[in-house]
C-alpha cells in the first residue's frame, strides 16, 4: 500500500535521501552518550563558576532562527527546552562547511532529533543557552509537528482535538508538555502506594489475567478461546478471589496493581481496560481499612501536590482524615427522602417508579437499591465520604455485619460524586459464600449478565480456612484523575481504547 504524502512530507523524504547521498546516516545505531539534560543546566549553571563547560545533550528541534554564519534553535528533551547557539565555523572547523550550509540550514527540520556537544553560556540578551561545538543527526522526522503559535494572546495551531491527542499520544507528549506532568504524577501515585504497602509488611504479587471463571466483581467479561486447551477463557474483571486464595495460603498481606477488563460502556470515567489496585490484609476489618486508606490518600496527595487539598472539578477537596461515614440506607433516606430499609423487591420496584429511577426487569434487590443511590446520592458526595453497611444482596463477597445480619461490613469511598474505592470485611464462611454465589446464579438465570459465576474452587479454598481479612480495591485511573485535576479518564491513560481509525478510499482499494 502506497503512503499518501502531502507536500511537506515529500520535501522531508527528499531531504532524507539527500542526507544519505552526503554519507550521513539519518538513523545511526551507535550510542549517543548524553551527560546532562536541559533542566539540570537551568538549575545548576553558574556563569561565575563557568560550569557545564562540557555539555552533551540530545533532543528534538522545536524551532529555528536561521541567520548567516550563526543561528539559534530550541532543543526539547524529556525535561524541557533550552536554546542552542549554532555557529558555522564552530561545527565546521575546516574548509568544508557542508554540515552548516547544507545539512543544518536546508536538510534539518523541526521535529528532527539531534545531539549537541558544547558548553553553557549566557547570551548578550541574557538568555541561558548551549553553544554547539558539534551537532549530530540522531533521527530524521518525516512528519510535520503541529507547533503551537501564540500571537496577541491568541493560540494558533494547538494540538487540542481530543480524538487526535488520544490516538496520537506520541505527538501529544511532544507538543503539549503539560501532558507529561500528568503521567509523571501517575507514576508517583503508584510509587507512593507501593512504598506505603511495603512499609505495612504487604507483599506485591501477580495473579492470572486469563481466568476460567471471571470472579471478584459484578461485571460483563471479555471472552477469548485457548486453542491448545480448547476452552473458553475470560479476561479478568477483578483479581480479588486469587488474592484471597493467597491469604488462605498463609500470607498476611498481599497486593497487586492489576490490569482488569470489563466489556461494558465507555465514557469520560470508564475505559474497558483499566488499572485497579487490590490489597488484602489478614486479621483486619473494614474499620481498620478506613483509617488505613485515609492515611494513604493523605500521603499520596502530599507526595503529588504538596498538600492534602486538591482542586477537582471546581471543588476544593481535602483528603485529610477522618472522612464522614454514612450508612447507605441512611444516605438514601437523607438525599432521596425515602426509607427503603426492610423493603422487598416489589416494594423497591414501586419506589424506583415513584422516584423516576430507570430499572431493568432483571434487577434484584441489590441493584434496585444501587439504582436509587446512584440517582439521588452520589452527586452530593463531594468531600471524601465512606458509604458503609450495604445490604447483603449488594455484596456477595462480604462478611455479614456483626450487629445486623441483613447488612454487610462494606464501604465504598466517594469523592466528587464518583466511587474511588470499594472495601469489605471479607466473607470467610464457605457455606455462606456458596449460598451467595447461588443467589448470583439465580440472578444470571433471570438475565443479569453482570451477576457472578459460582467459583467452586474459591469455596474449596475457604473450606481450608481463611483468617478474618479486610480487602480493598481502588481504581488507579480515577485516583490519578482526582490527584491531577483531570475530568476524563482518557487524559490519564497513555493509550485509551478508541474506534479504528477511518481509512481513505484509496487505502481501502489497496487493501
The most distant pair of C-alpha atoms in the chain lies apart, rounded to whole Å, by: 94
| Nearest CA-CA partner of 26 in 17, 35, 34 | 17
Co-location of 299 and 403 in the same domain: yes
Please give the Cα distance from 357 to 373 (Å, whole number). 10
- 58 lies in some domain: yes
Please give the Cα distance from 123 to 106 (Å, whole number). 25
Co-location of 435 and 299 in the same domain: yes
CATH number, domain containing residue 289 = 3.30.930.10
At 318, give phi and psi (nearest 5°): -110, 120
Residue in the block written with cell 510509587: 191
Co-location of 259 and 315 in the same domain: yes
Alpha-carbon torsion (309, 310, 312, 315), positive or negative:
positive
- 508 lies in some domain: no
Q: Is the peptide bond before 322 cis (omega within 30 degrees of 0)?
A: yes
Please give the Cα distance from 102 to 419 (Å, whole number). 59
Co-location of 408 and 307 in the same domain: yes
What would the DSSP string read from start to end of 324-374?
Answer: EEEEHHHHHHHHH----TT--HHHHHHHHHHTT----TT--HHHHHHHHHH
pLDDT digits over 49-90, tens only? 989 999 999 999 999 999 999 999 999 999 999 999 999 999
Residue ranges of the alpha helices (H) in 23-69? 38-44
DSSP reduced 3-state for 276? strand
Question: Are 363 and 394 contacting, i.e. CB atoms less than 8 angstroms apart?
Answer: no
CATH number, domain containing residue 36 = 2.40.50.140
Please give the Cα distance from 488 to 269 (Å, whole number). 6
Q: CA of 137: how far to CAs of 168, 323, 349, in Å?
A: 24, 56, 69
141: which residues sit within 8 A by CB, 6+ positions away?
12, 60, 109, 110, 111, 112, 113
Please give the Cα distance from 359 to 378 (Å, whole number). 17
Burial (CB count within 10 angstroms: exposed 0-12, middle 13-18, buried 19+), residue 394: buried
Co-location of 183 and 141 in the same domain: no
Co-location of 413 and 486 in the same domain: yes
Residue 87's domain comprises: 7-145
Question: Are 396 and 215 contacting, i.e. CB atoms less than 8 angstroms apart?
Answer: no
Query: What cell was used for 54?
Result: 562540557
- 154 lies in some domain: no
Question: Are 131 and 90 contacting, i.e. CB atoms less than 8 angstroms apart?
Answer: yes
- 368 lies in some domain: no
Co-location of 135 and 227 in the same domain: no
| Nearest CA-CA partner of 216 in 191, 194, 245, 189 | 245
- Report the b/e string of 244-262 with b at 16+ CB within 10 A: bbbbbeebebbbbbbebbb
- 362 lies in some domain: no
- 164 lies in some domain: no
Co-location of 418 and 468 in the same domain: yes
Q: What is the DSSP letter of 213?
A: S
Alpha-carbon torsion (490, 493, 499, 502), positive or negative:
positive
The total number of structural domains that make up the chain: 2
Co-location of 77 and 31 in the same domain: yes
Alpha-carbon torsion (425, 415, 316, 160), positive or negative:
positive
H or E stretch covering 144: none
pTM: 0.91
Q: CA of 278: how far to CAs of 243, 407, 428, in Å?
A: 8, 23, 17
Per-residue pLDDT of the chain (511 residues; tens, 9 = 90+): 456 789 999 999 999 999 999 999 999 999 999 999 999 999 999 999 989 999 999 999 999 999 999 999 999 999 999 999 999 999 999 999 999 999 999 999 999 999 999 999 999 999 999 999 999 999 999 999 997 766 666 655 678 999 999 999 999 999 998 999 999 999 999 999 999 999 999 999 999 999 999 988 888 999 999 999 999 999 999 999 999 999 999 999 999 999 999 999 899 989 999 999 999 999 999 999 999 999 999 999 999 999 999 999 999 999 999 999 999 999 999 999 999 999 999 999 999 999 999 999 989 899 999 999 999 999 999 999 999 999 998 888 899 999 999 999 999 999 999 999 999 999 999 999 999 899 888 888 888 877 888 999 999 999 999 999 999 999 999 999 999 999 999 999 999 999 998 765 555 555 5
Please give the Cα distance from 38 to 436 (Å, whole number). 59
Co-location of 131 and 189 in the same domain: no
- 361 lies in some domain: no
- 194 lies in some domain: yes
CA trace torsion 267, 264, 347, 330 (10° rounding): -50
Exposure on the CB side of residue 84, measured as CA atoms within 13 A: 32
Co-location of 104 and 213 in the same domain: no
CA trace torsion 144, 149, 154, 156 (10° rounding): -10
DSSP reduced 3-state for 236? coil
Co-location of 416 and 314 in the same domain: yes
Amino acid at each position: 500500500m502506497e503512503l499518501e504524502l502531502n507536500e511537506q512530507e515529500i520535501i522531508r523524504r527528499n531531504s532524507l535521501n539527500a542526507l544519505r547521498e552526503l554519507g550521513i546516516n539519518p538513523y545511526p545505531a551507535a550510542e549517543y552518550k548524553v551527560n546532562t539534560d536541559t533542566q539540570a543546566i537551568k538549575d545548576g549553571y553558574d556563569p561565575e563558576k563557568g560550569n557545564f563547560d562540557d555539555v552533551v545533550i540530545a533532543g528534538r528541534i522545536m524551532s529555528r532562527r536561521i541567520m548567516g554564519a550563526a543561528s539559534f534553535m530550541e532543543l526539547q528533551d524529556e525535561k524541557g527546552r533550552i536554546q542552542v547557539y549554532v555557529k558555522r565555523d564552530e561545527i565546521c572547523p575546516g574548509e568544508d562547511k557542508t554540515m552548516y550550509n547544507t545539512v543544518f540550514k536546508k536538510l534539518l527540520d523541526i521535529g528532527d532529533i539531534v545531539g549537541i556537544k558544547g558548553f553553557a553560556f549566557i547570551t548578550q540578551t541574557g538568555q541561558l543557552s548551549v553553544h554547539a561545538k558539534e551537532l549530530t543527526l540522531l533521527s530524521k522526522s518525516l512528519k510535520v509537528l503541529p507547533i503551537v503559535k501564540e500571537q496577541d494572546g491568541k493560540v494558533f495551531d494547538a494540538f487540542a482535538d481530543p480524538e487526535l491527542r488520544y490516538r496520537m499520544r506520541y505527538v501529544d507528549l511532544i507538543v503539549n508538555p503539560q501532558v507529561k506532568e500528568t503521567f509523571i504524577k501517575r507514576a508517583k501515585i503508584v510509587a507512593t502506594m507501593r512504598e506505603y504497602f511495603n512499609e505495612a509488611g504487604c507483599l506485591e504479587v501477580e495473579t492470572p489475567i486469563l481466568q476460567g471463571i471471571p470472579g471478584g466483581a459484578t461485571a460483563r467479561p471479555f471472552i477469548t478461546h485457548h486453542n491448545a486447551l480448547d476452552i473458553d477463557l475470560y479476561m479478568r474483571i477483578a483479581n480479588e478471589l486469587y488474592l484471597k486464595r493467597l491469604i488462605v495460603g498463609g500470607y498476611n498481606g498481599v497486593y497487586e496493581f492489576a490490569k482488569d477488563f470489563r466489556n461494558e460502556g465507555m465514557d469520560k470515567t470508564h475505559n474497558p481496560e483499566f488499572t485497579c489496585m487490590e490489597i488484602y490484609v489478614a486479621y483486619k476489618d473494614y474499620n481498620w481499612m478506613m483509617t488505613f486508606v485515609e492515611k494513604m490518600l493523605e500521603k499520596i496527595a502530599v507526595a503529588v501536590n504538596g498538600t492534602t487539598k486538591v482542586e477537582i472539578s471546581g471543588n476544593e477537596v481535602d483528603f485529610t482524615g477522618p472522612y464522614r461515614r454514612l450508612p447507605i440506607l441512611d444516605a438514601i433516606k437523607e438525599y432521596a427522602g425515602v426509607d427503603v430499609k426492610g423493603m422487598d423487591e416489589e416494594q423497591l420496584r414501586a419506589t424506583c417508579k415513584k422516584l423516576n429511577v430507570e430499572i431493568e426487569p432483571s434487577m434484584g434487590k441489590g441493584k434496585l437499591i444501587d439504582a436509587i443511590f446512584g440517582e439521588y446520592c452520589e452527586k452530593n458526595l463531594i468531600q471524601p465520604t465512606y458509604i458503609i453497611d450495604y445490604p447483603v444482596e449488594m455484596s456477595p463477597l462480604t462478611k455479614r455485619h456483626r450487629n445486623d445480619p441483613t447488612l454487610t461490613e462494606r464501604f465504598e469511598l466517594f469523592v466528587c460524586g464518583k466511587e474511588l474505592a470499594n472495601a469489605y470485611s471479607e466473607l470467610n464462611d464457605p457455606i455462606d459464600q456458596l449460598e451467595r454465589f447461588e443467589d448470583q446464579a439465580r440472578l444470571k438465570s433471570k438475565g443479569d449478565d453482570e451477576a457472578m459465576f459460582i467459583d467452586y474452587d474459591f469455596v474449596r479454598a475457604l473450606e481450608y480456612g481463611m483468617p478474618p481479612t479486610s480487602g480493598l480495591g481502588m481504581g488507579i485511573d480515577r485516583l490519578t484523575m482526582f490527584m491531577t485535576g483531570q475530568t476524563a479518564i482518557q487524559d490519564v491513560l497513555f493509550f485509551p481504547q478508541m474506534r479504528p481509525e477511518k481509512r481513505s478510499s484509496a487505502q481501502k482499494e489497496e487493501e
